[in-house]
Amino acid sequence: MSVEALLNTQISSGRVALAARVALSQCSPDTECPIYLEALDQALEDEPPPYDTSVYADIYEKAALSGRWMAVSLITNAEREGDGAKRLWSLAACSPEPTVQHQLKCHAVDESRHALLYLALLDLTFPGAADPAFRTDLNRLSPKFALKHDLYPVPGSPYAKKATIDDFLQMNIAEIRTTIHHIMQRPAISMHCSPDAHTKVASIQNSLLRDELKHVAYTAVLIEQIARELPRERVNALFRKRVGDFNRITYSELGGTGLFDCSVACCARNPSCRATSQEHVVPATSNFAAPGLPVLN
């Protein structure tokens, strides 16, 4: 199953199940994950995700016509990636199993880099849109983790704990959702960027997609390994619950910020959102994005 199958599919629904299968076939081609795939399919049937519908894709496409919306969305993506990196760094620090710890550390380093890649997309697509001081501040959205750095639990993080199957399920669903957002974002960005930036933009987007599929695949494999030791009904019920939780987060984002990936401040306000962290590197994007960006159309 090729990545092109995912990028070129004309259908806007059914992409969640497709993304999981493409990720596994690309990144873990020799690993069968029957328990994971069955639980995913059942959860999608019981709790159909709003982000797996043509209505959602249409709302995104219309919102992304606005340059200002697109620019703020890229900054929110950078913020989320940086926040995710810190969660993963804490989970990795507290993981007793060396292989899993290394996987989580690599994942944290990827997300830390992604925060900077989204800012690079902002620079390439909207050159000069952010004033210089604000743009410099944005670099702090990435914790700039590297493999050579020693792990430590991020102070105040609720993720300073050993990762469980529940954590891997939530990570897997979040990575699939990020992949779906990424697929919608690709053509939306190309509508705003100049032709001479297209090659660089596409290269960054390809690297982001490659990494997100890698994250979907390794979490799927970990879920499969842990699930083999658990009652099947328990795995299915937990998968269903977490898909439902992400559906509620998605509806809440659509009704609130309309950004398709809520800010850290939203999570802090909303108990149904992701677990909150007490530690923020910079003020929430929604609080400081507007003054730094001139009015784009």
Closer residue to Fe ion in complex, CB, 104/266: 104
Give the nearest distance from C-beta 88 to Fe ion in angstroms.
9
> Residue 204: exposed, middle, or buried by beta-carbon count in 10 A (0-12, 13-18, 19+)?
middle
The answer for residues whose C-beta is within 8 angstroms of residue 269's C-beta and 6 or more apart is none
Give the nearest distance from C-beta 55 to Fe ion in angstroms.
25
In angstroms, the CA 230 to CA 252 distance is 32
In angstroms, the CA 183 to CA 198 distance is 16
Give the nearest distance from C-beta 193 to Fe ion in angstroms.
20
Q: Find out whether 260 and 73 touch, Cβ atoms under 8 Å.
A: yes
Give the nearest distance from C-beta 215 to Fe ion in angstroms.
4
Closer residue to Fe ion in complex, CB, 178/236: 178
In angstroms, the CA 261 to CA 274 distance is 11
In angstroms, the CA 170 to CA 217 distance is 13
Closer residue to Fe ion in complex, CB, 52/175: 175
**CA angle centred on 7, ends 4 and 9, rounded to 5°:** 95
The gap between the terminal CA atoms of the chain, to the nearest Å, is 39
Which residue type sits at 267?
C
Closer residue to Fe ion in complex, CB, 76/236: 76
Closer residue to Fe ion in complex, CB, 70/171: 171
SS3 content of the chain, % helix, strand, coil (to 5): 70, 0, 30
Give the nearest distance from C-beta 89 to Fe ion in angstroms.
14
Give the nearest distance from C-beta 114 to Fe ion in angstroms.
4
Give the nearest distance from C-beta 131 to Fe ion in angstroms.
26
Helix (H) or strand (E) holding 119: helix 98-125
- Picking from 210, 90, 259, 100, the residue whose alpha carbon sits closest to that of residue 158 is 90
List interacting residues with Fe ion (CB under 5 A): 81, 111, 114, 175, 212, 215
Closer residue to Fe ion in complex, CB, 52/81: 81
Closer residue to Fe ion in complex, CB, 117/165: 117
Longest Cα–Cα distance of the chain, Å, equals 55
